[in-house]
Structure 1
Amino acid sequence: MVGFGWLVLALVFVDELLAVAAFGVWGWQQDPRWLWVWLLPLVAMTAWFLFASPKAQYGGRLRRPVVKVVVFGLASLALWDAGHPVWAAALLVFSVVVNALAQVPAIAALATPEE
């Protein structure tokens, strides 16, 4: 179970990278492109760092899942709006599945920061 747990956590990290990339894809299609293509991923990473990461300074039992839903939901909407509806749906389904698996107690314990 430990090996599967680490695989799930690795897929959660891949999911986070895909969400950031989705914001970059959407930003690339906006004007001014040079601003949005780096600003949106930076905002998403900052929100994740502050509220959703395992060691988030402002995370909590309510804020962490809300920010995760917002980030992955907006990333999927960004892909949809950028003209990639199949990829948007795939990202949304992938996000739901891997994040649900990450909530299994044995897997969640692997991601709990030690103090």
Structure 2
Amino acid sequence: MTAFGVWGWQQDPRWLLVWLLPLAPMLAWYFFASPKARYGGTLVRPVAKVIVFGLATAALWDAGHEPWAVVFLGFSVVVNGLALLPSIRVLVDRE
């Protein structure tokens, strides 16, 4: 979410976008990507994650933080890949 705030800080009107831009991915995550998402599903959840992380990477890249964009993309791929392992998935599905 910080990536969207960083990108919003460099746009006009800065005071508005720095607060509003992070709200869109937060709401998308809440409704579609979180483990208890109301509209999440086996197809919707991964697509929402790819969109949110992809746009965050693009926002960092466009804001001039290319190294951080690459690090963020690599980190998100590793973390989401590990989350698919059966031993980790059990921890989420317990409830």
Which of the five TM-score ranges fits, normalised by the shorter chain? over 0.9
- 1:47 pairs with 2:32: no
Check conservation: 1:54, 1:113, Cα contact below 8 A. no
The two structures have a TM-score, normalised by structure 2, of: 0.97
State how far apart, in whole Å, the 1-side matches of 2:20 and 2:94 are. Answer: 29
Deviations along 1:16-66, one digit per CA (max 9) or x if unpaired, are xxxx01011001101001111111111110000000000000000000000
Count of aligned pairs: 95
State how far apart, in whole Å, the 2-side matches of 1:45 and 1:112 are. Answer: 22
Gaps of 5+ in 2: none
State how far apart, in whole Å, the 2-side matches of 1:42 and 1:111 are. Answer: 25
- 1:31 pairs with 2:19: no
Give the fraction of aligned pairs with identical amino acids, expressed as a percent: 68
Gaps of 5+ in 1: 1-19
Higher relative contact order (CA 8 A, sep 6+): 1
Report runs of 4+ in structure 1 exceeding 4 Å deviation: none
